[in-house]
Amino acid sequence: MNKPHGFCWLFCLLTFVFNFAFATHTVAVLPSDGTLSDDENDLLTDKMREAALKVLPDDFALLKQDVVIKRLGGMENYIKECSETSCIVNLGKKAQVDYVAQCRVGKLGDNLRITVELYEVSTGRLLGMFSDISEDFYKLLPLMERNIPDVFRKITAPSPSISDLEKSVDVMFGYIEPEKKIDPQVATENEGNKYFWVAVGLDVLGAGVLGFGIYQNSQIASNRKDYKGVPQGSPQGDFDSAYEKVESSRSMRNAGYIAGGILLLGGVGVHIFF
């Protein structure tokens, strides 16, 4: 039946739009690296992402793994980039995110050493870190479950104040980038431009969804004509199938009108209030 699929499509579309429009921070978990097998590294990466999803607030968006790899130019290019730089901050910049984290596992004698790091990409500052030793791979997993959520909580923890002298020293040695002074008027204009494009996006998407509703409205007449054209004496299933198409088009039209109207109103609201 077409009717449920249409509502699912519209619901997913609306969810994507509002999540994209109002998520203010992006987080990437890079593929785990080290001496383990690919399958073991994949599991550690999944555990990292699972821990992040448990503690990150709603205004933080965790990028899908395939999106991260795509932004880094594909898996082959990621492996090359990873071998050429020891700083995951550079990879975070290439992935165009605000925060980046990675898990690495190496050998320490007969044991495994796990290191998890979380960085703020814009400043290069290490926000959170976890490091420990395990006898084997399977004992790493409970260590991660206990400790990694606290690493990601550092994203929203208030940063300790730093004196001007400490900042100057950090800038001198290249630990942090110098602060860029931004004209308040320019900052206000940039903020306005951001909301302007959000509003335009909502307007365009709303118009597209309304167009979809208009198309379905034209399909109603076509499907009704097909229903009336079912020859007398045909099996009841032919009548039922033709009638379901009419009802499905009507439902899709109504959903398109409602969803398109909501999106357009949202765009108008952003234009007015922001």
Same domain, 92 and 153: yes
**C-alpha R_g of the chain:** 26
Tell me the percentage of the chain whose pLDDT exceeds 90: 21
pLDDT at 186: 45
> By CB neighbour count within 10 A (0-12 exposed, 13-18 middle, 19+ buried), where does 152 fall?
buried
pLDDT bin (cut points 50, 70, 90) of residue 21 is very low
Number of domains in the chain: 2
Q: CA-CA distance, 151 to 117, in Å (whole number)?
A: 8
Segment 243-251 long-range contacts (CB within 8 Å, at least 24 positions apart): 244/1, 244/2, 244/3, 245/2, 246/220, 247/3, 248/1, 248/2, 248/3, 248/6, 249/216, 249/217, 249/219, 249/220, 249/223, 250/216, 250/220, 251/3, 251/6, 251/7
Same domain, 110 and 200: no
Strands (E), 21-156: 25-29, 33-34, 60-62, 99-108, 111-120, 125-134
How high does pLDDT run on average in the chain?
A: 77
Q: CA-CA distance, 66 to 29, in Å (whole number)?
A: 11
Q: Is residue 202 part of a domain?
A: yes
Q: Is residue 14 part of a domain?
A: no
What global pTM score does this model have?
0.50
Query: How does pLDDT run across 174-212, given as a tens digit for each residue?
Result: 655 565 554 555 444 455 566 777 778 888 888 888 888
Among residues 124, 152, 172, the one where a domain terminates is: 172
Among residues 172, 203, 229, the one where a domain terminates is: 172
With a cut of 70, say whether residue 145 has pLDDT above it: yes
Q: CA-CA distance, 208 to 261, in Å (whole number)?
A: 11
Structure tokens at 128: 């959170």
Query: How does pLDDT run across 240-274, given as a tens digit for each residue?
Result: 787 788 788 888 888 888 988 888 888 777 767 66
Q: CA-CA distance, 125 to 119, in Å (whole number)?
A: 6
With a cut of 90, say whether residue 219 has pLDDT above it: no
Q: In sequence order, what are the beta bridge partners of 62?
A: 27
pLDDT bin (cut points 50, 70, 90) of residue 103 is very high
Tell me the percentage of the chain whose pLDDT exceeds 70: 73
Instruction: Single out the residue of 25, 245, 32 nearest to residue 155, CA to CA.
Output: 25
Q: Is residue 20 part of a domain?
A: no
- In the chain, the amino acid numbered 172 is M
In which domain, by residue range, is 41 found? 25-172
Query: How does pLDDT run across 105-114, given as a tens digit for each residue?
Result: 999 998 999 9
Q: CA-CA distance, 193 to 140, in Å (whole number)?
A: 46
Among residues 172, 203, 220, the one where a domain terminates is: 172
First to last CA, the chain: 42
With a cut of 70, say whether residue 62 has pLDDT above it: yes
With a cut of 90, say whether residue 154 has pLDDT above it: no
pLDDT at 188: 46
Residue 240, helix vs strand vs coil: helix
pLDDT bin (cut points 50, 70, 90) of residue 3 is very low
Q: Is residue 226 part of a domain?
A: yes
Structure tokens at 162: 């730093």
